[in-house]
């Protein structure tokens, strides 16, 4: 996996399909991205959870293209693809066969029920201990072979959880890995893997049994030439622990800490995180999900363990997003405060910074200089606004940050100074060969934060004040060329 800026996108929402996305990246984003994480393109890509509820995880939805199109996309670009570990669609052939035949189905052992996890029954304490990303218990009543069962559904009733200890589920996951390796995918993302193992008497979230499954899947993936990125929203110390065991882990703490510094001018929590975070991270400010809150808060399974932000600071970040977006994020999040929506706040990152171009570029400069592989979400790459029309039409909060771009909208966005500057900054990050060297993070001379890289005679440094957007970037390629800019918007760096 090359250390260059990656794009995260849906094929249908940027380019229309896989061939369209490939053409767009090569024709209009040349040099901007060294890789692309294509969000689920399996059958169907437009199900109950925007592709994260696959009926057939080994088939490309023909409306988007084919496995050959995936291979073509990877010609010159690193590709990242999701492996949805926790569940399959309730409309998958396997689930439908169990619904029809019950215990006589060869797939009956592939899925979890209340009884299969708690064969001796569950107490109130057992159920209350289960860590949940959504309100309510993780069970949906279903009729399997004429028998009423309580089926384990962590996220929605349309997503039926797998029993990863079963032979059927293991063979199913191996078939997915084989399909992705055959398509020359560079890295897989283990989606929602933190919830994938249910152990009686525990939180059923990031337990020792979960880590064992991550280790097993990582081994299977590496045997097929696939690197592994683990996707878990959780307490920050777990992210550090996960980072020691896998190729890559997301830095989900970065976005809320950036916003905290931007809203308050206090960069202390961000500086603290920079000193302890895993450096084998994929850095993000935005993704297809919302802006994570749980990642900087207290441990949800042991609330006496403090987070990177105090509860009052965390509340202020949430309210700051709502204020910056004119209340749009409050409408999309579904809950009014962080004490309920501990998982995320839904908004584009550009709108969360009140559409302030200089603060937005300062945040991106910080992201691109932070150790790790930077990923930029497609809406963020185009400095996109909250899509209130899509939110209104679907009623799905996350759709506020999942706009469907036409080619004309892309072309118009690429003419905006903030987008042109961001593309130039990404090209700089991809071109200057210094970001595999030695990195030092320190307080800025007048507040803010400074990040300096050195590799031999090559150097690059950035100092940002996220509250004001003031940024200074200097660089030298070690061969006589150097540069300095104090305004990324009008004078972005060029190597």
Domain limit, last residue, from 431, 448, 475? 431
Instruction: Say if 493 falls within a structural domain.
Output: no
Q: What is the pLDDT along the chain (495 residues), one digit of tens a residue?
A: 899 999 999 999 999 999 999 999 999 999 999 999 999 999 999 988 889 999 999 999 999 999 999 999 999 999 999 999 999 999 999 999 999 999 999 999 999 999 999 999 999 999 999 998 777 899 999 999 999 999 999 999 999 999 999 999 999 999 999 999 999 999 999 998 999 999 999 999 989 999 999 999 999 999 999 999 999 888 899 889 888 888 899 999 999 999 999 999 999 999 999 999 999 999 999 999 989 888 999 987 777 899 999 999 999 999 999 999 999 999 998 654 333 344 789 999 999 999 999 999 999 999 999 999 999 999 999 999 999 999 999 988 899 999 999 999 999 999 999 999 999 999 999 999 999 999 999 999 888 999 999 999 999 999 999 999 999 999 999 999 999 999 999 999 998
Binding residue per annotation — 260?
no
Q: Show Cβ contacts of residue 406 under 8 Å, excluding neighbours closer than 6 positions.
A: none
Q: Does one domain contain both 443 and 414? A: no
Q: Which of 366, 203, 353, 186 is nearest to 271 (CA)?
A: 366
Q: Both 76 and 113 in a single domain?
A: no
The rounded distance, in Å, linking the Cα atoms of 485 and 487 is 6
Same domain, 411 and 459: no
Structure tokens at 408: 């004309």
- The pLDDT score that the predictor gives to residue 384 is 98
Q: Is 12 annotated as a binding residue?
A: no
**Helix 254-264 and helix 268-276: axis angle, to 10°?**
160
Distance between CA atoms of residues 5 and 370, nearest Å: 12
Kindly report the backbone phi and psi dihedral angles of residue 75, in degrees, each rounded to the nearest multiple of 5, phi listed first: -80, 95
Residue where a domain terminates, one of 111, 130, 161? 161
The answer to whether the annotation marks 267 as part of a ligand binding site is no
Residue 99 belongs to some domain of the structure: yes
Q: At 124, phi and psi to the nearest 5?
A: -60, -40
SS3 state at 65:
coil
Q: Output the CA torsion sign for 235, 237, 238, 242.
A: positive
Q: Is 343 annotated as a binding residue?
A: yes
Model confidence pTM above 0.85: yes
In a domain, 72, yes or no: yes
Residue 270 lies in a domain: yes
Residue 131 located in a structural domain: yes
191 annotated active-site: yes
In a shared domain, residues 14 and 147: no
pLDDT at 334: 65
* Mode of pairing for the β-strands spanning 248-251 and 281-283: parallel
Q: What integer pLDDT is reported at residue 134 of this predicted model? A: 79
Name the domain boundary from 394, 416, 431: 431
Cis preceding linkage at 272, omega within 30: no
Phi, psi of 334 (to 5 degrees): 90, -20
Residues 265, 316 contacting (CB under 8 angstroms):
no
Q: Does 150 appear as a known binding residue?
A: no
Tell me, yes or no, whether 494 lies in a domain. Answer: no
Answer yes or no: do 135 and 218 share one domain. no
The answer to the question of whether 288 is labelled as a binding residue is yes
Give CA–CA dist 64/95, Å, rounded.
24
- In the residue annotation, 399 being an active-site residue is answered as no
Q: What is the DSSP letter of 238?
A: H
Integer Cα distance of 368 and 430 in angstroms: 10
Q: Which of 191, 247, 251, 472 is catalytic?
A: 191
Cβ contact 414:420 at 8 Å: yes
User: For residues 283 and 291, what is the distance between their CA atoms, to the nearest angstrom?
Assistant: 13
Residue 121 belongs to what domain range?
93-161
Q: Report the CATH number at residue 107.
A: 3.90.400.10
Is residue 491 situated within a structural domain? no
Q: Are 325 and 190 within one domain?
A: yes
Which member of 227, 231, 387, 472 is catalytic? 231
Domain total for the chain?
Answer: 3
The separation between CA 41 and the C-alpha centre of its own chain, rounded to angstroms, equals: 16
Alpha helices in 155-310 (DSSP H): 167-182, 208-223, 236-243, 254-264, 268-276
Instruction: Tell whether residue 342 is among the known ligand binding residues.
Output: yes
My answer on whether 129 and 179 are in the same domain is no
Query: At 176, which CATH number?
Result: 3.20.20.80
Q: Taking a C-beta distance cutoff of 8 angstroms, is the pair 231, 192 a contact?
A: yes
149 assigned ligand-binding residue: no
User: What is the C-alpha to C-alpha distance for residues 118 and 111, in angstroms, rounded to an integer?
Assistant: 14
Residue 345 assigned to a binding site: no
Query: How far apart (Å, rounded) are the C-alpha atoms in residues 133 and 130?
Result: 10
Report which of 196, 210, 249 is spatially closest to residue 84, judged by C-alpha positions. 196
Ramachandran angles phi, psi of 261, nearest 5°: -65, -40
Q: Are residues 323 and 176 in the same domain?
A: yes
Same-domain pairing of 97 and 81: no
Distance CA 183, CA 68 (A): 7
Predicted pLDDT of residue 241: 87
- Give the up-direction half-sphere exposure of residue 365: CA atoms within 13 A in the CB hemisphere: 34
- Asked whether residue 199 falls in the same domain as residue 261, the answer is yes
Whether residue 492 is contained in a domain is answered as no
Give the C-alpha separation, 103 to 13, whole Å. 40
Question: Distance between terminal CA atoms of the chain?
Answer: 22
Q: Are residues 119 and 241 in the same domain?
A: no
Is 231 marked within a binding site? yes
Show the tokens assigned to 35: 């890789």
Whether 410 and 423 have beta carbons less than 8 Å apart is answered as no
The annotation status of 398 as a binding-site residue, yes or no, is: yes
How many CA atoms lie within 13 Å of 70's alpha carbon, on the beta-carbon side?
28
Assess whether 290 and 358 both reside in one domain: yes
Non-local (6+) Cβ contacts of 461 within 8 A are 450, 451, 452, 453, 473, 474, 475
Q: How far is CA 399 from CA 288, 323, 392, in A?
A: 9, 19, 9
Assign 135 to helix, strand or coil.
Answer: coil
């Amino acid at each position: 996996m090359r250390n260059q800026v990656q794009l995260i996108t849906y094929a249908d929402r940027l380019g229309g399909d896989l061939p369209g996305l490939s053409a767009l990246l090569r024709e209009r984003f040349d040099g901007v991205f060294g890789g692309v994480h294509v969000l689920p393109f399996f059958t169907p890509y437009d199900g109950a959870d925007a592709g994260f509820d696959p009926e057939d995880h080994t088939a490309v939805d023909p409306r988007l293209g084919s496995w050959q199109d995936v291979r073509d996309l990877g010609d010159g670009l690193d590709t990242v693809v999701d492996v949805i570990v926790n569940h399959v669609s309730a409309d998958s052939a396997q689930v439908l066969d169990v619904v029809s035949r019950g215990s006589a189905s060869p797939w009956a052992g592939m899925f979890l029920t209340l009884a299969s996890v708690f064969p001796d029954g569950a107490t109130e304490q057992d159920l209350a201990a289960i860590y949940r990303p959504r309100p309510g218990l993780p069970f949906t009543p279903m009729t399997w072979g004429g028998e009423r069962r309580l089926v384990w559904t962590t996220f929605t009733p349309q997503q039926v959880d797998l029993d990863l200890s079963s032979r059927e589920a293991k063979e199913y996951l191996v078939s997915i890995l084989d399909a992705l390796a055959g398509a020359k995918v560079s890295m897989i993302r283990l989606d929602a893997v933190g919830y994938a193992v249910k152990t009686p008497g525990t939180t059923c979230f990031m337990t020792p049994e979960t880590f064992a499954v991550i280790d097993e899947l990582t081994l299977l993936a590496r045997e097929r030439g696939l690197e592994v990125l683990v996707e878990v929203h959780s307490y920050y110390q777990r992210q550090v622990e996960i980072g020691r065991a896998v190729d890559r882990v997301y830095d989900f703490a970065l976005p809320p800490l950036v916003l905290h510094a931007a809203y308050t001018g206090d960069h202390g929590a961000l500086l603290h995180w920079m000193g302890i975070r895993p450096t084998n991270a994929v850095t993000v400010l935005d993704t297809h999900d919302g802006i994570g809150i749980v990642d900087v808060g207290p441990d949800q399974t042991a609330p006496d363990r403090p987070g990177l932000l105090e509860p009052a600071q965390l509340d202020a970040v949430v309210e700051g997003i709502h204020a910056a977006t004119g209340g749009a994020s409050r409408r999309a999040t579904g809950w009014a405060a962080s004490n309920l929506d501990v998982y995320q706040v839904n908004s584009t990152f550009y709108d969360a910074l009140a559409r302030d171009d200089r603060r937005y570029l300062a945040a991106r400069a910080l992201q691109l200089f932070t150790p790790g592989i930077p990923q930029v979400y497609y809406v963020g790459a185009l400095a996109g606004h909250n899509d209130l029309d899509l939110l209104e039409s679907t009623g799905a909060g996350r759709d506020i940050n999942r706009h469907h771009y036409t080619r004309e909208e892309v072309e118009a966005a690429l003419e905006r100074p903030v987008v042109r500057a961001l593309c130039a900054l990404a090209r700089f990050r991809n071109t200057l060969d210094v970001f595999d060297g030695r990195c030092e993070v320190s307080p800025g001379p007048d507040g803010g934060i400074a990040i300096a890289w050195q590799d031999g005679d090559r150097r690059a440094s950035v100092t940002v004040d996220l509250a004001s957007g003031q940024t200074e970037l200097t660089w030298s390629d070690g061969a006589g060329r150097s540069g300095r800019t104090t305004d990324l918007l009008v004078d972005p760096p060029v190597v």
